[in-house]
Amino acid sequence: MTTPKLGRRHAVFLDIDGTLIDLAATPDAVIIPPELPDILNHVQTQSGGALAILSGRKLADIDRLAGANFPCAAEHGAILRGVDGQVTEKIQRPAAYDHWLQTLQRRAARMPGVVIEEKKFSLVVHYRQAPEHEAELGLLVERLAGASEDTQLLLAHCAFELKPRGGDKGAALAAFMQSAPFKGKIPVFVGDDVTDEPAIRMAADLGGAGLHVARDFANSTAAVRAWLRG
Q: How far is CA 158 from the centre of its chain?
A: 15
Q: Is 168 one of the catalytic residues?
A: no
- Write the CA distances from 122 to 56, 72, 137, 174, integer angstroms: 10, 17, 16, 22
Q: Which of 15, 17, 192, 193 is catalytic?
A: 15
Find the farthest-apart pair of alpha carbons in the chain and give their distance in angstroms, rounded. 52
Sheet holding 115-118, edge to edge: 115-118, 123-126, 159-164, 151-156
CA distances from residue 127 to 31, 133, 138, 147, 158 in whole angstroms, order as listed: 19, 7, 10, 22, 6
The DSSP symbol for 13 reads E
Cα 227 to the chain's mean position, in Å?
20
Q: In sequence order, which residues have a C-beta less than 8 Å from that of residue 87 and are 6 or more positions away?
A: 59, 79, 80, 81
Q: Which residues are catalytic?
A: 15
